[in-house]
Structure 1
Amino acid sequence: MNMIRSFLKVLSAALLLLVCNAGSLSAAAGPGQNLSAPVFSAVSLDGKQTGSSALAGKAYIINFFASWCPPCKGEIPDMVSLQNQYVKKGFTFVGIAVSDNEPAIRKFAQQNRISYPVVMGNEEIVKAFSRYVDGGIRGIPTSFVVNSSGKITKIIVGAVSREDFEKMIFEALGKPNSVKSSS
């Protein structure tokens, strides 16, 4: 029985790494579009309430990531830049760290100058968002775009470009879709 459990753990880790290293698997949500975002509670690494009640009325992108995931790491500089650009317009990213420990994530957030809230993923948060994805969240990065009305408008599995993030931010904020990137 222990051998089967060990095999399943190794298989799960291998599949997660495969998806993480596969590059962009951009898959916009079909059935999950325009459903109410889940209710969840969370406290960021800096001790601030970051759950659904704290995000009410804001447009946001929930980004499930890990510090060891190359595509996740590749998105961070654009996310930091866009956070700084759009935070005063009612938008924020929220990073949900999974498959990592808190000291590693704290170090990663500091090294990458992450300016948006980062939360340690727990069973409640993962379950809350997994119900919107067929088979649950199985790969990272996975991003959920939520508009200021609290509706999930898009789900993306895989890395996202700066231009695509910016388009999603504009859509979530209810702005016209013409984006002139300031990269």
Structure 2
Amino acid sequence: MTDQLPDERPQRRREYSGPASTLGLAALVIAVVGFALWWFEFRDDPSAGTARSAGGLGVIALPDDLNPTGQPPAAREGRAAPNFRLAALDGGPRSLDEFRGSWVLLNFWASWCGPCRAETPDLQEFHSRNLDRGIAVIGVNQQEDAATARQFTAQFGVTYPILLDTSGAVSQAYRTGVGGLPMTVLVDPQGVIQRIYLGRITWDQLSELEAQLP
């Protein structure tokens, strides 16, 4: 019986097993990444009823009696807007449900965003023209410090409320990662999302909205 000889080249490279294994691995990676994107961006968020940030700030529960849809809040037209509480640039924390009974235009922005800068004068003009009509404009700054946000608002003469989403939890709940900044969400007096504007909201769109709202 002949003894099995030891491998004379123990450090040699493994033989290439062909393109099938490489393609299979690539497909697996793509599937995993795709599922992760779907999970974090497109699914309904069952945790929208819990605060995600320290100090009770972030996404908070929406009381059942303030949800006329019978479905969990979600950043979709026809669904209740996810409720949140954030620190205001000037003043104490504010929550979305404080504005119940008014039309609300939620504008997600950041100072580095060019289209955000371009639309801000129009949003300020819209705010000034509709102060007495029960239409509130609320700016939600995405993950910048108060000094940066304050410099921006001073530059553009912003007088509508600015809330600071320093953790990014609220922006995530509203799926800003899908279309990027800016994003503007129209919420009706019952707290239901009526329209989502992706990208810069134009003066023509604001004028049309102004004419349609009671």
Amino acid at match of 1:125: V
- Which has more radius of gyration? 2
Cα deviation, 1:95-133, whole Å, max 9, x if unaligned, reads 111142221111111121101111111333123322xx7
Q: Quick one: distance in 1 between partners of 2:207 and 2:163?
A: 22
Q: Quick one: distance in 1 between partners of 2:136 and 2:92?
A: 14
List gaps (5 residues or longer) in structure 2.
1-74
Pair 161,147 (structure 1): closer, same or farther in 2 beyond 3 Å: same
Name the count of aligned residue pairs.
Answer: 139
Hey, what does 1:116 align to over in structure 2? 160
Cα deviation, 1:57-113, whole Å, max 9, x if unaligned, reads 110111111112111000011111110111211011111111422211111111211
Hey, what does 1:57 align to over in structure 2? 101
Q: Quick one: distance in 2 between partners of 1:91 and 1:48?
A: 21
Hey, what does 2:113 align to over in structure 1? 69
Q: Quick one: distance in 1 between partners of 2:154 and 2:198?
A: 25
Q: Pick the aligned partner of 1:96 from 121, 137, 140.
A: 140
Pair 55,169 (structure 1): closer, same or farther in 2 beyond 3 Å: farther
TM, length-normalised to structure 1? 0.69
Residue 53 of structure 1: how far off its partner (Å) = 2.1
Give the RMSD, CA atoms, in angstroms.
1.9
Residue 169 of structure 1: how far off its partner (Å) = 4.3
Q: Is 1:143 aligned to 2:200, yes or no?
A: no
Identity of aligned residues (%): 25
Quick one: higher RCO (CA 8 Å, sep 6+), 1 or 2? Answer: 1
List gaps (5 residues or longer) in structure 1.
1-30, 176-183
Alignment of 1:2-81 (within 5 A): 32-81=76-125
TM, length-normalised to structure 2? 0.59
